[in-house]
Amino acid sequence: MSHDHVHQHDIESMGDRRLLLAIIANMLLTVAQVVGGIVSGSLSLVADALHNFSDASSLLIAWLARRIGRQPADDLRTFGYRRAEVIAALVNLVSLVIIGIYLLYEAVWRIFQPQVIEGWIVVIVAGVALVVDVATAILTWTMSKNSMNIRAAFLHNVSDALASVGVVIAGTLILLYGWYWTDTLLTLVIAAYVLYQAFGMLPQTIHLLMEGTPEGVSIADVRAAMEAVEGVRNVHHIHLWQIDEHRSALEAHIVIDRFEDTARIKAALKDRLGDMFDITHSTLEFEIENCGDGS
């Protein structure tokens, strides 16, 4: 086993431990927020708890997906299991949409049926939540650069921290001025932000699952770069998609002048695809005459 492989394994193990610690902290915080929200009558505290629970759930799903994603390719999944993390992201985002819609419903209903809220409980529990949210964000920050799931969870924790600040402010206003309407207003803001996050990330996730073209890569540019290789007359039947968040694949038909040059042209094309477009997996079919498939 190489040193690089051992080092990578150590990094992944450390990341798993960080995720587990963040999951436990957020689950305990969710329970505390729900209890505090019910006792105090604060809907915004329950709203923050539901958002925090979605974060804990997404961390748990991401942790499971990371472990599944490390499984090697086999006869059932010939590209491997890396896309498990993308599926996990989709599950998390759909749950966020459901939670956001529920919070909107509860907030509107609270307008017609206002309740007395215990401001001190709101402030204390939200203060504890703020500490946990900041700690979780720190735990996941270094991992968020290379994973859609962890990046989403990191952004959720940052938004949770901001929401906790807002809940503290709302609780303080209730204590000082009796402005109970601030709790409903904050719930609406949290719900709107949850929906904004979910709908902002859904298109990217669905695009990847639909095997769309990698972001920032144009089929026309790829074809032009391939046809610029010496000995290539035409490139057609191009299919370009993302295997997972970090790997792209391509298949294409290549019309060349002489079959004797196939090995040289193939090597040049693969080098160009990797260097210019970061396409790490390509399947190229060589022809002397165009097969007539222009797709």
- The whole-number average pLDDT for the span 18-44 is 78
Q: What's the pLDDT score for residue 284?
A: 94
Q: What's the pLDDT score for residue 12?
A: 60
Q: What's the pLDDT score for residue 48?
A: 66
pLDDT-derived band at 295, boundaries 50, 70, 90: low
Cβ pair 79, 184 in contact under 8 A:
no
Write out the DSSP string of 155-210.
HHHHHHHHHHHHHHHHHHHHHHH--THHHHHHHHHHHHHHHHHHHHHHHHHHHHHT
Cβ pair 23, 60 in contact under 8 A:
yes
Q: What's the pLDDT score for residue 113?
A: 61
- Give the C-alpha separation, 4 to 230, whole Å: 37
Number of helices (H) and strands (E) in the chain: give both, helices first.
8, 3
Does the domain at 3-209 match CATH 1.20.1510.10? Answer given as yes
**How do residues 129-148 score in pLDDT, each as one tens digit?**
778 778 777 777 777 667 77
**How do residues 59-105 score in pLDDT, each as one tens digit?**
788 788 878 877 887 888 877 887 888 888 888 778 778 877 877 88
- The whole-number average pLDDT for the span 215-244 is 92
The residue extents of the domains of the chain are 3-209, 219-287
Pairing of strands 279-287, 248-256: parallel
- The whole-number average pLDDT for the span 198-212 is 86
pLDDT-derived band at 6, boundaries 50, 70, 90: very low
pLDDT-derived band at 273, boundaries 50, 70, 90: very high
- pTM over the 0.75 mark: no
Does the domain at 219-287 match CATH 3.40.50.1820? Answer given as no
Q: What's the pLDDT score for residue 1?
A: 44
Mean residue pLDDT across the chain: 79
